[in-house]
Structure formats: structure tokens, C-alpha cells
Amino acid sequence: MTPIAFVNRLPPTDEAIWLEALAAAMPELALRRLGDLTETERALVEIAIVANPDPADLGRLPNLKWVHSTWAGVERLVSELGAAAPPIIRLVDPELARTMAEAVLAWTYYLSRDMPAYAHAQRERRWAPRAYRHTQETTVGLLGLGALGAAAAPRLGDAGFKVTGWSRTPKELPGVTFQADLADVLAQADIVVCLTPLTAQTRGLLNAERLAQMKPGAALINFARGPIVVTDDLLAALDAGRLSHAVLDVFDTEPLPASSPLWDHPAVTVLPHISAVTDRRTASLIVADNIRRYLDHGVIPQAVDFGRGY
Ligand code: NAP
């Protein structure tokens, strides 16, 4: 049986846990660590399952037809492998989308119910009730209406929030007012949630000019990738009081260095990249299904478009 290679740069314990989950999802297939394959076996491999792979390791698989990432964000794979790479399939998992939608709703409530202000007041032993803001008075702007943004929209809508959205191509989603112009979303939203992939077009997207287009006193949630937001420009907007708060789950460098001014900024909530963590069990089942469809019918799942970068 042609082996399926698992190529990764994970710590050994994480690699073992992934191998176990993947093997459980595809017991009939010959899943093997790259390092366990002989040269003859490596020459046969058509499919690699990858988690932060070393590009040189993929180069050791001369017959590779496609690569399945265990992650949803593939900007690193795209930049490290380059356009000559075999098709890259990213993880699209409804369970991941559900988790992200839950996080978007949770942290939107965190902001709309003024939890940062109450935490601050408590630290100062101040009894300071604030006016209640109904969800219907709060507009949430979703940047990115893909697998994750589209899952978050109905959760926000069901909670009563007004939802506007922006994506590269126009989208019709129930309950979402689509805006073709980013400036319009930024001007209308009380809370902006970033869920676009990191590409050449979105790197540095939320810079001083864009942040200045946000409604005065608005807040930002970045659950996508750190470099989409220009940190110094964000800090300037928060320091000037033009923006009220930022919830950041992703950063230019992760883990966030201890020296970062974000850690103790009063208007920043730092999260350790936890808004939507891959569920190894459901992810493995999806990877297994995609591999079976290829083995049975020769169908390679929809791949990342290198031109678009996602
Ligand atoms: P997706 O299905 O590919 O959706 C991406 C969305 O962004 C699409 O609506 C796309 O527009 C839009 N977009 C892309 N480039 C754009 C641009 N230049 N201008 C405007 N809109 C643009 O991706 P996804 O599965 O929703 O995931 C989004 C990102 O979330 C991932 O790339 C990853 O970086 C991040 N993520 C973070 C975590 C975490 O724990 N923090 C977990 C998982 C994923 P179209 O609809 O027109 O294509």
C-alpha cells in the first residue's frame, strides 16, 4: 500500500498525539512519519499530511501530488513552498468554524458589556456602573466572510448585534449587510473583527490610515494573523483614545515577547492564540475523508490559490 507521509516540525509529544488521531481516523491507510520511510517508500508517496513542515523534507518526496495541512491558516506554507509547490489543501473544519464563531461572540460580548472597564474598576476598588448598551445598538464589522467569518455572522445576528461584512468578492449572507468598501465597514462598526487570511494584500491592512477610518471609540478584535494589524499604529490609536480597546489573539511574533508593550497596555487584552484551536479528532476525520476521496476517485480537494495567497 502506498504510504501517506506525516511531515512536521512539531515537538515529539505533539507529533505523537497527531499521529494517534490521524491513524485512528484512517486505520486502513499506511500513515507513516517521514523519518520512518525508506528511500523506496518515499519515492512512492503521493500525499503528505503536514503541520509546519520543513520545505526540504517535502523535497524528499519526488512523487508528491498534494499536501494536506492540518491548519486553516496556510500563509507560512504558501510563502515557504512557493508557487512551484504541489497543491496545498488547508483545513476547513466545521468544528473549527463553530469554535471561532463562539470566540467571536464571547469577545464581542466582553466588549459590548464593558468587561475591560469593570475589570479596571475592580482593580481600583471602584463601584462604577455603566449604562447598558443593547446589542441592537451595536454594529459588528466582520473583515473576512469565509469559513470562519460566515460562521460567526449568524451567532452575532442571533444575539441581536447588527452585522456588516467585507470580503474580497461580494457575499450574500443572511443578516449581513455586505460592504464593498472597507472604509464603510470601519466607519459603521462599533466592534471590528478581523478574520481575513494573511496575504500580500492584507499584510499591514489595518494601518494608521485604516484605523483612523474606524468609528471614534470603536474596538478591534484580531483573531486572524498578527501582521494584518500594524501594532505601532494600533498602540497610537489606543493611546490617543481614538479606539477604546483591542482584543488580540495573534501577533507578529508568537509567543508574544515579554518585552512587548501590548502585555500591560490598559486598553489591550492579550490572548495566546486560542480563539479557535484545531480539534485533532475532527480535523483528522476531515483529512481522512479527503484522502479517501482521492484514493477512490482521484479527486484532489480544492487547493490554495497561490495568486490570491489563500
Ligand atoms: P477563508 O475561508 O479563506 O476566508 C477568508 C475570507 O477573507 C474570505 O471571505 C475572503 O474573501 C476574505 N479575504 C481574503 N483576502 C482578502 C482581501 N485582500 N480583502 C478582503 N477580503 C479578503 O479563511 P477562514 O477559514 O475563514 O480563515 C481566516 C483566517 O483565520 C485564516 O487564514 C487564519 O489565518 C485565521 N485563523 C485564526 C485562528 C486562531 O485561532 N486565531 C484559527 C483558525 C484560523 P472571499 O470570500 O472573496 O474569498
Instruction: Give tens-digit pLDDT for 210-220.
Output: 999 999 999 99
Q: Distance between CA 48 and CA 55 in Å, rounded? A: 12
Ligand 1 centroid to residue 33 C-alpha, Å: 30
303 has pLDDT over 90? yes
DSSP 303: P
* Sign, Cα dihedral of 113, 149, 67, 304: negative
Q: Distance between CA 113 and CA 99 in Å, rounded? A: 21
pTM: 0.97
With a pLDDT cut of 70, the percent of the chain lying above it is 100
Please say whether the beta carbons of 69 and 53 come within 8 A.
Answer: no
Q: Distance between CA 30 and CA 1 in Å, rounded? A: 7
Q: Distance between CA 138 and CA 148 in Å, rounded? A: 21
Reported as a single tens digit per residue, the pLDDT across 12-35 is: 999 999 999 999 999 999 999 999
Q: Whose CA is nearest to atom 18 of ligand 1?
A: 201
281 has pLDDT over 90? yes
Ligand 1 centroid to residue 309 C-alpha, Å: 10
Ligand 1 centroid to residue 177 C-alpha, Å: 18
Q: Name residues contacting ligand 1 (CB within 6 A).
A: 72-73, 144-149, 167-169, 171, 195-199, 201-202, 223-225, 249-250, 273, 275-276, 310
Distances (CA, A) of 134 to 112, 164, 214, 298: 8, 17, 20, 52
Q: Distance between CA 246 and CA 252 in Å, rounded? A: 15
Please say whether the beta carbons of 197 and 222 come within 8 A.
Answer: no
Q: How does residue 83 score in pLDDT terms, banded at 50, 70 and 90?
A: confident
Reported as a single tens digit per residue, the pLDDT across 86-112 is: 999 999 999 999 999 999 999 999 999
Ligand 1 atom closest to the CA of 145, numbered from 1:
9
Residue 176 has phi, psi (to 5 degrees) of: -115, 125
Nearest to 273 by CA among 287, 257, 254: 254
Nearest to 185 by CA among 152, 207, 163: 163
| C-alpha cell recorded at residue 81 | 513552498
227 has pLDDT over 90? yes
What integer is the mean pLDDT of 179-191? 98
What integer is the mean pLDDT of 191-205? 98
Give the count of beta carbons closer than 10 Å to the beta carbon of residue 2: 12
Mutate which of 167, 182, 305 for ligand 1 pocket (most atoms within 8 A of beta carbon): 167
**Element holding 297 (H helix, E strand):** helix 280-297
| Residues labelled catalytic | 225, 273
Q: How does residue 69 score in pLDDT terms, banded at 50, 70 and 90?
A: very high
- Beta bridge partners, 116, equal none
Q: What is the pLDDT of residue 54?
A: 96
